[in-house]
């Protein structure tokens, strides 16, 4: 009679794993974590640069146009507010659609 194991069948790859394989897997995982960290840092830098550029542009328009043409300034601010509203709602809809997938 042959003896039978009771329980789930083991994956044959687990018997072939060595400490070198585990070290390589950990090394790859560590490099991936470093890349994700660098990407997040770069994303924050670009976001800060965009905010500074738009702030400087807004201050320049405010100083330049309020002194010369108040009506044009009001129209520009109104269009900018509409643009930001559309941009925000677009991101909101995208987030909603991603959550429902």
Rounded Cα distance, 73 and 64, in Å: 9
pLDDT at 28: 92
Highest average pLDDT, of 11-25, 45-59, 76-90, comes from 45-59
Are residues 60 and 93 located together in one domain of the fold? no
Q: How far apart are CA 59 and CA 65, in angstroms?
A: 10
Residues 57 and 41 both lie in one domain: yes
Q: Quick one: average pLDDT of 77-92?
A: 84
CA 72 – CA 64 distance, rounded (Å): 11
Domain, as residue range, for 94: 69-101
Tally of CB atoms within 10 A around 68 = 8
Rounded Cα distance, 58 and 84, in Å: 13
pLDDT bucket at 3, cuts 50 / 70 / 90: low
Q: Tell me the three state secondary structure of residue 3.
A: coil
Q: What mean pLDDT is reported for the chain?
A: 83
8-49 pLDDT tens trace: 777 777 777 788 888 898 999 999 999 999 999 998 999 899
Does 77 lie in the same domain as 95? yes
């Amino acid at each position: 009679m042959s003896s039978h194991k009771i329980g789930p069948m083991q994956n044959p790859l687990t018997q072939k794993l060595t400490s070198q394989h585990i070290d390589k897997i950990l090394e790859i995982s560590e490099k991936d974590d470093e890349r994700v960290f660098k990407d997040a840092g770069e994303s924050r830098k670009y976001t800060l640069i965009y905010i500074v550029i738009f702030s400087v542009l807004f201050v320049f328009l405010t100083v330049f146009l309020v002194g010369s043409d108040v009506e044009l300034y009001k129209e520009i601010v109104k269009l900018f507010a509409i643009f930001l509203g559309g941009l925000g709602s677009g991101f909101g809809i995208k987030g909603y659609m991603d959550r429902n997938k």
